[in-house]
Amino acid sequence: MAEAAVVQHDGIIFSAPVRFRDGCGARRGGPWPYYWPMHSRMAVFRALLALALALLGPVSCGPPAITGGFDSPQPAARIFATRRAAAETDPAKIRAAMPGLIRNLESDDPAVRLLSAEALDELTGESYGYRYFDPEWLRTPAVHRWREAWERGEITLRDGTRIEPDTLESNPANERAAVDR
């Protein structure tokens, strides 16, 4: 019959199989969880499970990146809209997306700035001196050059199609619809 270590603490009897011997030959109980009563071990398990769910719960509660468009507070949604606009071939949809691409050149997120600059370069073949990694005081004049070119109607697509603006601050719903199609 297997031996068991029995310990009484505060009126609770703990029992665990004897597994270890210390250097003097005395028998000791198993590792630390066996000294806890079963209801305490379950309480600790439930507490750890609740902590894990509390930490991981907010991660999965955000809206998907495919919704939001250029004006979303989420960089992932702005990046998604930028990549969709860069892959667009319809000049009307490109024209609807152009104000959002130009606005995103001023983003705080360097990934959004990089992808917006690349999308504008893919669509038009122009950079107007914009580099996403420059400090803000160097990026601002390049963004103004993009805005002025857009307002004057000087932006031409790579295939030679000139796109005329309505306004720089066009309706975000139109931009979102252009990217969602």
Q: Which residue positions in the chain have pLDDT lower than 50? A: 1, 21-23, 25-27, 34, 36, 168-170, 181
pLDDT number for residue 165? 81
**Order of strands across the sheet that contains 12-21:** 4-9, 12-21, 27-29
Q: Of 126, 125, 114, 119, which Cα lies nearest the Cα of 85?
A: 119
Exposure string of 136-159, with b = 16+ CB inside 10 Å and e = fewer, is: eeebeebbeebbebbeeeebebee
Q: Which helix (H) or strand (E) holds 13?
A: strand 12-21
Q: Tokens for 47, please give them.
A: 């507490």
pLDDT for 44-76, tens place per residue?
Answer: 777 777 777 777 765 555 566 667 788 888 888
Q: 91-103 vs 110-124: helix axis angle to the nearest 10? A: 150
pLDDT of the residue at 168: 44
Closest CA to 120 of 138, 152, 143, 151: 143
pLDDT (0 to 100) of residue 16: 55
pTM: 0.58
At residue 140, the pLDDT reads 94
Which of helix, strand or coil describes residue 80?
helix
